[in-house]
Structure 1
């Protein structure tokens, strides 16, 4: 049924649309405040959305942009498995399986609830959050050595967690027995359920106030607004086809061809390497990476709803890293998606100079540490994405110590929380003083953080890209620096890591996390004397480097 939106008051539409954004934010806050794991309540590794009855995103809360894009695809996966007649009031669906609407990897649990006004389905509410451990071959459930999804943890393939309000105890039991952290999983699960309940309640209040027809018409109108904005931006772009390729740390080449037409923006990623190991993305995950780049490039201020992405077409080839086929592993899917996102931004920078800044550190830099807590003996697992440097652009230095644009509105875990909750001491938390990213405007600084291990029999797993090839400079600016982990053993030996799984670490060992400086913009010789003096004062530059790079005597 399509509702004629012209028959309704546009002011009421605007009130409902803004109310939906507020409801999604309230869902986010409820889940954050009741979660057990710091990856959720501190880092904010979650997202929330309200979707229309067809599963299109109508409004989203704060959180990771790449997560928000999961939720419409997750609902489509549920509706593919369950006929609409099987979706009933009181149902709650759960899915973490990328082959059944989970989209990302097994650590990320999607929860979805339909919203009924009587017997009429009017919307869905949904959330997604990273759980620290869902079983699998290694603690933290993320292994760069995995070759099949079966090695990565328990698979929940779009099942009913609640059926008409009655909990499916079997699913709860399966989840809890397949994790090394059952109490944390249980707490994070119920936090997600509480977020859905808040969303359902608030949506029904809107429906009761304005009527179901008006509510649905407002969502449809919002979709049309998103589509109009996207098509208007598309009209302003030069038409044609553009091809770009980029070398990766491994030496492999990633390629993209974009075709801009009057009616569509086509991104073709079919000519890319075969799937391999755990660094693969689902077809839907790749679509999210492209959606984020498309929106950032065309109209960052437009509504990020389902309507906005209607002109976008994504082409992939099954069996490649951007379209994994079962039973391929996806533990480090995020590094594949961020490589696609970053390559598209670099392509835009090449084809449309001045639109996109210099390169950024462009990695999630996933860091997993765990083992017995030195004081309680209880098993802990810390899962940390890392901050890094963004690229400079004309007139501005790049921001320092930020998450990637792909990872979005998240935060680092404070040192005080890390020390209280985990078996680590934070010896240093500083910006990266290494060379890289010099220019008339310099790239932002990455971080240099030292975690000291406090007990024996701990482990470390990492997954960093841009560990060999640094962020690119623009207009004569210098390239930035790379991401890596330096493991400093108590005996004085050192190891440099980018991808590693279950590395043994013991009391006294130091895990040094170093993330890249962003690329610079413009000829370094044009940098102002005041800016160079400030860099010297902050310790980001030595007198020798000031002479070498900027030509300044100090």
Structure 2
């Protein structure tokens, strides 16, 4: 049998064509969906897999979704086998403990792709639905204590059979949602996306031939693995450790430690979470697929961001996590707010890697989901979910970014115009928080303040967040960023700050305001080495107060904002001596 050889130009053309298909799938999903969480905030991901279930192309959407789609595809191959899969069948699931996503609102959908009668791959997507039942609207409570409180668990089941939608399954899902028509619309949008991906993938096989596509996929996967191995080999052999803490999971409980040890030996890398704290009482536990996705993100981001967007390097990483810990919980542990812990996992991984590759890892970012849900009856029931952005940590050569998502989340904000058009709510304030970025030679990015007013007769409020006790850490002498908070009815006699960051079932009346303040981020380097004119610019722009300019940077400003060079030199000199 003649061995098929595919030149590198053709491999790259095919690889980019598959990535383009994944991006097109994402565009179809967003444009066809009903909910703001998908069509506006882009809380979804799309991907292609080969016939062996290996990820060959993922659109650049949400890093936490990397392991979720692979779980469904692998479950299809393990439980059904390639011989039992049929054209026109589409499968869905959402259960984190049986090959679904990483929490119940994420519904994964996958379709086997055929060419000339043979299985050639899978088209898959995942989307965060705004409600799948559970004890609070939005199905994303941070204080649930069991997965059974978090919504409908969908086993792997056929959503489409022989080209026809399985109306019984669709009815089962919609019946368990507070927004049945929205669920129907979003599921059908997912269906349109997998059909688009399947058609385009089959067209590529028709254009180049399945044998050529298979060889190209194998080379792309091997190339991604080799890129990681080369990056790892450049790190001095050794074990690099870091730890950080999550806010207390419930009143009276101790904070939970996240600890990692990254061991490098030549081209081999292993990651051990021994010493990480107990399984949480509430919904911040991390199932295996979420842990793996977080590890893959951190390695790619810190070691080689240009590693191709496929799963070629996944098997090159060994991950050990103690059973019964927060990063490997026993079912039925609650997992709805798992990204709060995933963000801290990313922090400690990057903290350890900062010792391995100095200068390439930023200071601590806001690293909190800061998730809120407003829900209630108006003319019809509504559920508004949102993740509020925060500060990104300063880097070794530049300031951190303001008001962005970081690490395993990559969703957009919901524009005020869309929010106020869709929901009986009004945004009174949306601004950056002065002094929330840690001082440093390079300043940390700023967190966000967002005040949302209820215009309906009544509404329920739920939220979960972290970094409300332990601040984002500065690096190389930079100062820490600020923590976040939720404040009810700010500026009134009834004002109160919600404790703990994980709340549900709070009743709001017409006119009530919730103030959401997201964490800032850490600074990088000695603040006294920051050029004084940059500090003056920050003060003029409202990013830094005049008080902080003097206290944290040693910069003296005139009443008009100009730098007093002589006084600044004296202050900085005196403080260095002190």
Tell me the TM-score normalised to structure 2 length: 0.92
> SS of the residue aligned with 1:123?
strand
Residue 136 of structure 2 corresponds to residue 145 of structure 1:
no
Runs of 5+ in structure 1 lacking a partner?
Answer: none
How many angstroms apart in 2 are the aligned matches of 1:198 and 1:359?
A: 39
How many angstroms apart in 1 are the aligned matches of 2:549 and 2:363?
A: 21
**Aligned-residue offset at 1:490:** 8.3
The worse-fitting range, judged by mean Cα deviation, of 292-301 and 171-180 is 292-301
**Aligned-residue offset at 1:474:** 1.5
> SS of the residue aligned with 2:392?
coil
How many angstroms apart in 1 are the aligned matches of 2:340 and 2:79?
A: 29
**Aligned-residue offset at 1:84:** 2.2
How many angstroms apart in 1 are the aligned matches of 2:134 and 2:556?
A: 57
Q: Which residue is 1:253 aligned to?
A: 257
**Aligned-residue offset at 1:536:** 1.4
Contact 2:435–2:548 (8 Å) recurs in 1: no
Contact 1:390–1:517 (8 Å) recurs in 2: yes
**Aligned-residue offset at 1:26:** 0.5
Distance 1:549 1:8, change over 3 A: closer
Alignment equivalent of 1:379, drawn from 372, 378, 381: 381
How many angstroms apart in 1 are the aligned matches of 2:229 and 2:441?
A: 36
Residue 275 of structure 2 corresponds to residue 271 of structure 1:
yes
| Number of residue-to-residue matches in the alignment | 548
Residue 216 of structure 2 corresponds to residue 218 of structure 1:
yes
Alignment equivalent of 2:506, drawn from 491, 503, 506: 503
Distance 1:241 1:169, change over 3 A: same
Structure-to-structure mapping, 1:403-552, within 5 angstroms: 403-408=405-410, 410-488=411-489, 492-497=493-498, 498-552=501-555
Contact 2:101–2:107 (8 Å) recurs in 1: no
Provide the alpha-carbon RMSD of the alignment: 1.7
How many angstroms apart in 2 are the aligned matches of 1:37 and 1:323?
A: 32
Distance 1:411 1:239, change over 3 A: same
How many angstroms apart in 2 are the aligned matches of 1:199 and 1:179?
A: 27
**Aligned-residue offset at 1:99:** 1.4
Contact 2:93–2:101 (8 Å) recurs in 1: no
How many angstroms apart in 2 are the aligned matches of 1:244 and 1:552?
A: 33
How many angstroms apart in 1 are the aligned matches of 2:384 and 2:274?
A: 36
Alignment equivalent of 2:121, drawn from 112, 120, 123: 123
How many angstroms apart in 1 are the aligned matches of 2:556 and 2:261?
A: 47
How many angstroms apart in 2 are the aligned matches of 1:22 and 1:167?
A: 27
Q: Which residue is 2:200 aligned to?
A: 202
The worse-fitting range, judged by mean Cα deviation, of 188-197 and 260-269 is 260-269
Distance 1:399 1:435, change over 3 A: closer
> SS of the residue aligned with 2:56?
strand
The worse-fitting range, judged by mean Cα deviation, of 439-448 and 523-532 is 523-532
Contact 1:4–1:217 (8 Å) recurs in 2: no
Contact 2:478–2:524 (8 Å) recurs in 1: yes
Structure-to-structure mapping, 1:19-98, within 5 angstroms: 19-98=17-96
> SS of the residue aligned with 2:389?
coil
How many angstroms apart in 2 are the aligned matches of 1:336 and 1:247?
A: 9
> SS of the residue aligned with 1:293?
helix
Deviations 1:177-236 (A, max 9, x none): 000001111111011000011111111111111111111111111111111111111211
How many angstroms apart in 2 are the aligned matches of 1:491 and 1:132?
A: 31
How many angstroms apart in 2 are the aligned matches of 1:271 and 1:4?
A: 49
How many angstroms apart in 1 are the aligned matches of 2:475 and 2:90?
A: 49
Tell me the TM-score normalised to structure 1 length: 0.96
The worse-fitting range, judged by mean Cα deviation, of 540-549 and 452-461 is 540-549
Runs of 5+ in structure 2 lacking a partner?
Answer: 249-254, 558-578
Deviations 1:105-127 (A, max 9, x none): 11000000000113211010100
> SS of the residue aligned with 2:312?
helix
Contact 2:443–2:522 (8 Å) recurs in 1: yes
